[in-house]
Amino acid sequence: MRKPEGVAEAANDALHRLATALVDSASLVRAVPERLRVAPVEGVSPASVPALRSLLDRLTDALELPRLDVVPEPARLWSVELALSRRLMLGSGGLDAVAGSSARPGPGEAEGVEDIARSASAALPGRPVVVRAYDGSPLRCWTAGREGLPAVALVTACGMPVGLVTRWMKALSGSFRVVTWESRGLFAAENGAGPAALGDHSLAAQAGDLPAVLDGFGIRRAHTMGLCGGAAIALAAASTSARVMSLSLWHGDYELGGAAPKTDHQRDVQSLLAMASRNLRQAAGLHRLMRRRSALDGMRPDIAHHLIHPYATPDLLHRYGLLNGAIMATDCRPFLAAGQPALVVSSPKDTTAHPAGSEYVATRLPRADLRMLPEGDHLSAFDAGPELVRLAEEFLHDVTATHRKDT
């Protein structure tokens, strides 16, 4: 029987949302070797679980993702499963209208699951391009915006999936060619089986990934935008490479010796990473703590599936300890002679990375402008809100125009 047009529309919207959520969560789903469980949203009848499981199987198969088990209640889920369940919102928004339908519905019915999966996979950020770093490490990279536009290299926080910066990619790609990549050694290898081998984990090696990514996309020079620990990577790259045309550093997490204080969060994370970096046994002990549901208490529910990625397995946590530990422990003061135009952004309300670090960096960089915003915490820097986008675009247009005038 043909469903009413409004029902089919609601079913399509719900399927698109679920497929998009799965694509957005793909790094986490692939990271954990065990089969993950997810629970539907509160209020969904246990009787609908088999149909929801069947629908989810069809979508994960179409997206070439590991299958997930659907359980009626979230009570026994561990932190990664709970974060994933919150992102998928399984059973919400009209999914019951298509949960048991065929893969190829007739006119007026919901779109085919495979078509919706293809559409979700093609949407921003799209499929990754693998670029080799100078030491051979594979880097999962993305690009948005037309070739020939001024290039912006977007350096995200260590260990974070690309989904955390998709809003920035979308916001900037109308006027710029945006390139970004995920941290070396923390994401699936080219065959999709487990993380790629971790080579050099030093800050210098991570900074060297920036020009390697530019080479991979045939880009000669780029403006560079760093967020959180990515600001330290961008700063290190700018200090050694003329290919970095300008810097914008957002809520940077810097090691500055005794020159600037750190927050309790910075000190706690640095201590955790130091322990995790020692060996897999130490990382496994810390991972048992991160499996607790309470590990999500300090994470924003809408992005917790990204934030928990580097804690998802003992091996990832050990590697994260090495990589982010190197970022947080390497003194950034030698990089502050970088002469590129720079925008440094923070807020007094950032309790994650101390704003005094950004103030110190801005006063020492020869050509920096400090913007201490009255509102916004650390994670809001990743939201690409209108005010932040306006600030970023104004800076980028100014330095692009100046560069053209000088050449």
In the prediction, which pLDDT does 402 show? 73
* Co-location of 116 and 152 in the same domain: no
Residue 125 preceded by cis peptide, ω within 30: yes
Between the two ends of the chain, the Cα-to-Cα distance in Å is 67
Has residue 55 got a pLDDT over 90? yes
* Co-location of 142 and 274 in the same domain: yes
Please give the distance of CA 17 from its chain centroid, rounded to a whole number. Answer: 19
In the prediction, which pLDDT does 95 show? 64
- Token pair for residue 327? 């970022």
Percent of the chain with pLDDT over 70: 91
* Co-location of 234 and 305 in the same domain: yes
Q: What is the mean pLDDT of the chain?
A: 92
* Co-location of 21 and 159 in the same domain: no
Averaged pLDDT for residues 256-261: 98
Has residue 201 got a pLDDT over 60? yes
Angle between helix axes 5-24 and 113-122 (nearest 10 degrees) is 50
* Co-location of 178 and 91 in the same domain: no
Domain end position, chosen among 122, 137, 152: 122
What is the band of 193 on the pLDDT scale with cuts at 50, 70, 90?
low
* Co-location of 88 and 168 in the same domain: no
Averaged pLDDT for residues 135-161: 97
In the prediction, which pLDDT does 96 show? 54
Averaged pLDDT for residues 174-189: 95
Any idea what DSSP says for residue 313?
A: S
Distance of alpha carbon 232 from alpha carbon 327, whole angstroms: 7
Q: How many domains does the chain have?
A: 2
Has residue 304 got a pLDDT over 80? yes
Has residue 111 got a pLDDT over 80? no
In the prediction, which pLDDT does 43 show? 85
* Co-location of 118 and 139 in the same domain: no
Has residue 74 got a pLDDT over 50? yes
* Co-location of 94 and 215 in the same domain: no
For residues 352 and 268, is the Cβ–Cβ distance under 8 A? no
For residues 53 and 69, is the Cβ–Cβ distance under 8 A? yes
Percent of the chain with pLDDT over 90: 85
Tokens 């946590």 map to which residue?
A: 317
CATH code, domain with 175:
3.40.50.1820
Has residue 11 got a pLDDT over 80? no
Please give the distance of CA 127 from its chain centroid, rounded to a whole number. Answer: 14
* Co-location of 111 and 170 in the same domain: no
* Co-location of 115 and 138 in the same domain: no
What is the band of 188 on the pLDDT scale with cuts at 50, 70, 90?
confident
- Token pair for residue 403? 């560069």
What is the band of 401 on the pLDDT scale with cuts at 50, 70, 90?
confident
* Co-location of 362 and 301 in the same domain: yes
- Which one is predicted more confidently, 99 or 355? 355
Domain end position, chosen among 122, 143, 170: 122
In the prediction, which pLDDT does 98 show? 55
* Co-location of 259 and 210 in the same domain: yes
Of 4-18, 72-86, 184-198, the poorest mean pLDDT is in 4-18
Has residue 392 got a pLDDT over 70? yes
Pairing state between β 138-144 and 129-132: antiparallel
Has residue 404 got a pLDDT over 80? no
Domain end position, chosen among 122, 149, 173: 122
Q: Residue 363 is part of which domain span?
A: 129-406
